[in-house]
Structures are given as structure tokens and as C-alpha cells.
Amino acid sequence: MEEVRISSWNDLQEALFHDSWDPQLERFRSRWVFRGLSNADYDLVTTLMRLGGPYQELERHLLRNFRKYAHRSMVERDSIWHWLSLAKHHGLPSRLLDWTYSPLVAMHFATANLDHFQRDSVIWAVNYHHAHSLLPARLREVLENEGAHSFTVDLLSRCLPGLDDLGGPDGPGSLLFMEPPSIDDRIVNQFALFSVTSDPALRLVPWFKVHPGMARRILIPASLKWEIRDKLDQANITERVLFPGLDGLSLWLKRQYSPKNPAAPTPG
């Protein structure tokens, strides 16, 4: 698995837009999706994994009860994929991970947490075309017949009625990327999509290591974070845009007015 340590703003742009030229279209159309983490030591673990214990057995119970207690008018269709997207969006632990098509949005999440500004951050880049080339033939055919590069909840609803139909732990595992419905402006503005693993216990980093060319780690040194953060703010890539509403506005203002080198907190 490739790892790139950048040393400047320009280095970061080169790394994020690497391999984005499509010779057939003669356009820049990247096949990579991105996930920014404020601490380079963080792993690619799902919220379901973070529960600990026998989390694989809890997934169906969590989702079943979410469907039971949530109002049915919240989903466009009564499919597992519509419910899973809604549940993930509202914080229910799941096997899904958040990704974005936008390198700038990933840069935001890698540099938004002021508590981690003394630590290196990381942006993961994954070639979703490569990931989908490893899917079972029946799923590849769905994308090919549709002329699509990633799945929507409607496509998955037609070919995979349940999570168990993705496969289980007996094989090497597989990974697909799913675009959620536009539930609100947050999903739209973040250019968001989710990764879905065939097995809730499948860990992505070891899986990437056995599939060369699948993923890249782009390391951002702590010394560059303020420059990147300030340039993103000038480009209007902020909490105010990515989290529309008063919560996002408050987060943006809090960060904007925080000192660059805050004094040590006074003991309580």
C-alpha cells in the first residue's frame, strides 16, 4: 500500500488529484474517493466495530430496532439500504464508513479538529473502480448494465435485498461504495458516499494491503495544518457549508475565533 508524505500545499494537490486523467473522455475524472482523519494514528474502523464485544451480532438488532422506532415517512422506500443510509446519517453504529468524492472535503476533515493540530493527519484515497472490479460477477454486471461506476440505494435494493446477500466471512471479503439518497443538504454538500463491506468484521487496512494499487495514505505533517486550514477557509470549505444549519455555523465561528496557540487551560 502506497504512503505519501506531503511537504507543501502544492504537494497535497498533486497527491490528491493523482491519476485523475481519463484518456477515454479526455477529461479529469478521478476514480478515487477520500476520507480525511485529523490524527494519522486513527484506523479505518467503523462505528459498529467501536462498540466492541460481539459487535457483528449486534448489527441486525440495531437496525431492526431503528426501523421499528423511526417514523416510516423518513425513508423514500422500505428497503434495507434506504434504512441503513438514514440510520448511518443519524449516528446509528453500522458497518458503513463515510467517504467523499471531494479531495477538498477530505482536507477539511483532516484539518478541522483544533485539538489535534499538534498531530499529523491523514487522507485515505481508495480507487473505487478497483474495489468494484473485485465484486462478485452479478454485482459487477449491475453496474455495467446501468453504465454506473458506483451503487445507489435503488440499485442495491434491486439486486441485494439484505446485508447477508453481500457475503460472509468465509471468502476474502469485498467492498462496495454506495451513494446515499439526498436526505439533506449535508450529504449533498459533502459529496458523500459510504463504503459497505461484505462482512461487518472486515478490516480495511489489512484488506488494502493484499490488493496493491487499491489505496493510498497521504500524510499531512502537523506543521502544514494551519496553512491548509486557512486556505480551505478562504475557499469556503468550512463547517458552515458542510454542516448547513446553526450547529455548523457555531462550529465554524468557534474555530474561526480560536487562537492559533491557545494558552494552557486553567486548572478547575
Percent of the chain with pLDDT over 70: 95
The answer to whether residue 247 is domain-embedded is no
pTM of the model: 0.92
Q: How far apart are CA 226 and CA 237, in angstroms?
A: 14
The rounded mean pLDDT for the chain is 91
Q: Is the pLDDT of residue 215 over 70?
A: yes
Cell triple for 126: 481508495
| Furthest-apart CA atoms within the chain: distance in Å | 63
**Pairing state between β 151-152 and 175-179:** parallel
The answer to whether residue 39 is domain-embedded is yes
The answer to whether residue 257 is domain-embedded is no
**Pairing state between β 175-179 and 192-197:** antiparallel
Domain count, the chain: 1
The answer to whether residue 127 is domain-embedded is yes
Structural domain boundaries enclosing 104: 2-237
Q: How many CB atoms lie within 10 A of CB 210?
A: 10
- Model pLDDT for residues 51-84, shown as the tens digit of each residue: 999 999 999 999 999 999 987 767 777 888 999 9
Which neighbouring-strand residues pair with 3?
217
Beta strands in 169-257, from DSSP E residues, in sequence order: 175-179, 192-197, 215-220
